[in-house]
Chain A
């Protein structure tokens, strides 16, 4: 059972689970979808997070306790529904060990657990990988769920679609950096992220993507409809690229020629739990077919 609590007189906060898991994420996402579908008067914002979610409401239009009762009821309903999600899978090119995050991580070395190595070397070692290359293979191998979009401007948090024993875990920097390049692919706890804008950050830096994911001017063709690319529930596959391809994509981005590879897919949690590798293989087929 989820834990329901008030965030003042304008928010209800629902903790599905204290711990992160795909089940908790999926329950949270389904619940927020159910709340949206219910079209409750007075509900202002619906924010799914990793293993919890939050509803902002106008207490002049609906009494906080009435809304909480309504949400508890929806939880019962959502529990009966099949855990299926219409979503999309997106390929995101990543230039691992790029010169820009490298320059930044060297600049903030005294804030790191391992001042003599790089963030990737540290992450590979503490997760039991022999080489950085093998670690990158694991990071870029199985796909990821966008489990939350937020912190600032369209920043996605991602959780890898593998069993717990294969999850990568890396602590954040000892003290946060004051700088992170835009579009850095980062890692903290059991989450990957893409920094949507340049700024402070505490996640380990693995690489950088040339793909724009936040465009307030909406000049990028695929962000014309909306300035934020990611939505909770998106599935992401990282594709390692080198310098030459990175430069080419940046050039394509600048002239509005780049379109991310993506496909619509249906994800079933039951199918996934029954056969992780098979489900992930199916997602790859869908992404790369045609």
Chain B
């Protein structure tokens, strides 16, 4: 009862909500970059929120169904077509055996999440089907989806109702000027007050190096460091520290030049200072940023970060209600 992959787009990977618990061994949590969108897509097709679906960056795949199913495409505005007929995003869509799901060009956002009733049922690795190519874990034989792959499906719950959709107000995408809330911390004290101010004042652009491991930003001013004698083993560049862990969402700035926000497939540690961390509520948005999107980092305190997290959870609760 598989889904046959005719074409795979640029980068289509199997993702669920990830494999927490192994970061201390250099194996990142992984999972959908936009977890909110994956959850919404799963809810629409009657799956557990954490079922595995496809994450397609920038260009959609072409998939042939060998049995009737319900699908949903959430996240980026990547309009689906079933046998050539255009269909809405953020909606449960019925697909019949033999039909082909394809996609128009990307309109908004960067990553679309394709959920199929029953979920994709490739073998899990360390408790997750998420693809982590560096460690050859999850996905199809530890890699991204390729043409010719047959993706097995689990048993559908039977609760999907084609036609259901997520109301507009509950669809979350970054604006044309993206804003990412940041809690300063970690090695924030390593840069001068001037640089601290400048980092939040400047408008940054998403660079081309923008993937599951991390997003690089460019176009802001060079950061100035507070002078110090470098500690033993930290390395000679003022942006170096004794190799340490990197939080998900942490912002490192090698050589003080271009900030990199680490994402779901983060390297677990290294020797660059970090000036703060994108709050958990805004991590999903990063996965929807296209290269060259102007972006502002917005300084927040812990209470605001927790309030933002609460808002996000409330939004998800409303999607749960509308799809129940």
Known: A54-B245, A150-B245, A153-B135. A46 touches B250 (CB 8 A): no
Q: Which of B62-70, B151-159, B191-199, B270-278 contacts A (4 or more CB under 8 A)?
A: B270-278
Cross-interface CB contact of A8 among B26, B137, B142, B277, cutoff 8 Å? B277
Bound Cα distance from A49 to B241, whole angstroms? 12
What secondary structure prevails in chain A residues at the interface with B?
loop
Where the two chains meet, the residues of B that have a C-beta atom closer than 8 Å to any C-beta of A are 20-27, 125-126, 134-137, 142, 183, 185-186, 188, 231-236, 241-245, 247-250, 267-271, 274, 276-280, 302, 305-306, 309, 313
A45–B24 CB distance below 8 A: yes
Bound Cα distance from A199 to B137, whole angstroms? 16
Bound Cα distance from A58 to B266, whole angstroms? 18
A151–B185 CB distance below 8 A: no
What secondary structure prevails in chain B residues at the interface with A?
mixed
Bound Cα distance from A6 to B186, whole angstroms? 6
- Give every chain A residue within 8 A of B271 (Cβ-Cβ): 189
A52–B280 CB distance below 8 A: no
Bound Cα distance from A151 to B27, whole angstroms? 8
Q: Is A26 part of the binding interface, using a Cβ–Cβ cutoff of 8 Å? A: no
- With both beta carbons as reference points, the residue of chain A lying nearest to B276 in the complex is identified as A8
B302–A47 CB distance below 8 A: no
Q: Which of A15-23, A103-111, A116-124, A130-138 contacts B (4 or more CB under 8 A)?
A: A15-23
Contact with B along A175-217 (1 / 0, CB 8 A): 0000000000000011100001101000000000000001011
Known: A5-B186, A190-B233. A216 touches B244 (CB 8 A): no
Q: Is A1 part of the binding interface, using a Cβ–Cβ cutoff of 8 Å? A: no
- With both beta carbons as reference points, the residue of chain B lying nearest to A45 in the complex is identified as B23
A13–B26 CB distance below 8 A: no
- Give every chain A residue within 8 A of B241 (Cβ-Cβ): 18
Known: A9-B309, A13-B185, A19-B242. A150 touches B247 (CB 8 A): no
Closest Cβ–Cβ distance, residue A90 to chain B (whole Å):
16
B24–A152 CB distance below 8 A: no
Known: A6-B277, A8-B279. A45 touches B26 (CB 8 A): no
Cross-interface CB contact of B20 among A17, A20, A44, cutoff 8 Å? A44
Cross-interface CB contact of B277 among A11, A44, A172, cutoff 8 Å? A11
Where the two chains meet, the residues of A that have a C-beta atom closer than 8 Å to any C-beta of B are 5-11, 13, 15, 17-21, 44-54, 56, 59-60, 64-65, 148-155, 157, 164, 169, 171-172, 189-191, 196-197, 199, 214, 216-217, 227-228, 230-232
Known: A59-B309, A216-B135. A9 touches B244 (CB 8 A): no
Closest Cβ–Cβ distance, residue B29 to chain A (whole Å):
8
A20–B233 CB distance below 8 A: yes
A-B contact pairs, 11 of them (CB 8 A): A7-B250, A8-B277, A10-B249, A20-B234, A47-B23, A49-B244, A148-B243, A189-B235, A196-B26, A228-B22, A232-B24
Bound Cα distance from A134 to B20, whole angstroms? 44
Bound Cα distance from A52 to B247, whole angstroms? 12
A197–B280 CB distance below 8 A: no
- Give every chain A residue within 8 A of B249 (Cβ-Cβ): 7-8, 10
